[in-house]
A = this chain, B = another copy of it.
């Protein structure tokens, strides 16, 4: 992935007026005298003085500046339809992922669906089976909640050794949005769940007809039939016009392009819960239905592929989340885990959502290793890769939530390492 994008200039490649000190106050002053440099000029041209020309008219629907080029890198795969693309976390601010940059994962491409013709069938062990139109679903009482979605395969390249060159590659399969829809419980309770209904099989309308089985208890708790994302309709890649939002559970359970929910007695043991989305354990067995994404965090700046322009004060920042609830604490180590400092969290903290942490840090110019460690409101602490591998082995693919280490070399180059 190209880390020399114009918009990464804000992070790297320029000397700075901030010199080495923990007191920000002194630094701006020092900077004035010491270190003014000219900026890099982009190959794209803009008027030399924007006050001397008439600007662009109002528009019905906006788009970003031509100077902004952050994009989703594609995960290497035999086809571009059964593939994935990654959120460039190193370029994002705050906790909302722009919908254009929400990670993608699909098994037979993004289907095109006419919302007026789309239907959701709810059947099986339910007293009154039903076919719903989108308009009917949108007339029911709604909720909007900020939640993250993480693919269970996020970070899966990192089990045996540090592999990917940047945080987009190691952690880019998690994104966070404001989702709007109807609680599935609202509908299921009304239709009447029969006594024998223990699981709900959810099926997508894509070419893979992706199918996952979910325990009924979760479906009667906080699962959302979502049709809205960040204020507007779902984006096609995120399941337009209807998807499941299954707070805190692995991404593949949030079935997109949702067309069918069947209440059944047992899980269907579909491909996505037998050969795929299982965890190979050290004893050779495969663990199924590892639904919850455990507490995890990663530093997005400084992160691998970026370069610190020189010694001085920086703001270390990153994201933390837990599929079980609220992030309560993020600690940062700048000495490879020897000592830890609490990083303030961006408020309000949302349940099962990206939580932004930030901590000022003075880089001495010597080699060092940065890590973040998250604790959720159950008291669960994000493990080291060694502790995780002790239980899981290293032949698993999914559910790697270990502490990530970034080494800063004396030259300011940031690398993906094992601390």
Interface residues of chain A, those whose CB is within 8 Å of chain B, are: 6-7, 9-11, 14, 16-18, 24-25, 27-29, 31-32, 36, 39-42, 44-47, 50-68, 70-74, 79-81, 83-85, 91-102, 104, 106, 108-117, 128, 130-131, 133-136, 138-144, 178-180, 186-187, 189-191, 205-207, 209, 227-228, 230-233, 235-237, 240-241, 257, 313-315, 317, 346, 348, 350, 356, 358, 360
Contacts and interface: CB of A to CB of B under 8 A. Distances in A.
B231 A98 contact: yes
A211 to B, nearest CB: 11
A1 to B, nearest CB: 10
A71 B60 contact: yes
Contact of A57 (B17, B45, B80, B233): B80
B106 A190 contact: no
Given A55-B206, A58-B83, 7 more contacts: A11-B138, A14-B135, A51-B206, A52-B207, A56-B109, A98-B99, A142-B358
Contacts of A9: 115-116, 135
B65 A235 contact: yes
Contacts of A83: 57-58
Contact of A46 (B16, B41, B114): B114
B114 A44 contact: yes
B141 A101 contact: no
A295 B164 CA distance: 50
Contacts of A138: 10-11
A232 B230 CA distance: 13
A72 B257 CA distance: 27
14 contacts: A10-B135, A16-B136, A47-B112, A50-B111, A50-B113, A55-B81, A58-B85, A61-B100, A61-B101, A62-B101, A62-B237, A67-B241, A93-B232, A96-B230
A101 B65 contact: no
Contacts of A232: 64, 68, 70, 91-93, 98, 100-101
Contacts of A59: 72, 85, 104, 237
B53 A111 contact: yes
A100 B63 CA distance: 6
Nearest to A136: B17
B117 A41 contact: yes
Question: Which of the listed residues A24, A61, A143 has the most CB atoms from chain B within 10 Å of its own CB?
Answer: A61
Contact of A55 (B46, B106, B179): B106
Contact of A50 (B28, B73, B205): B205
Nearest to A179: B94
B97 A191 contact: no
B178 A50 contact: no
Contact of A139 (B45, B81, B314): B314
Nearest to A109: B55
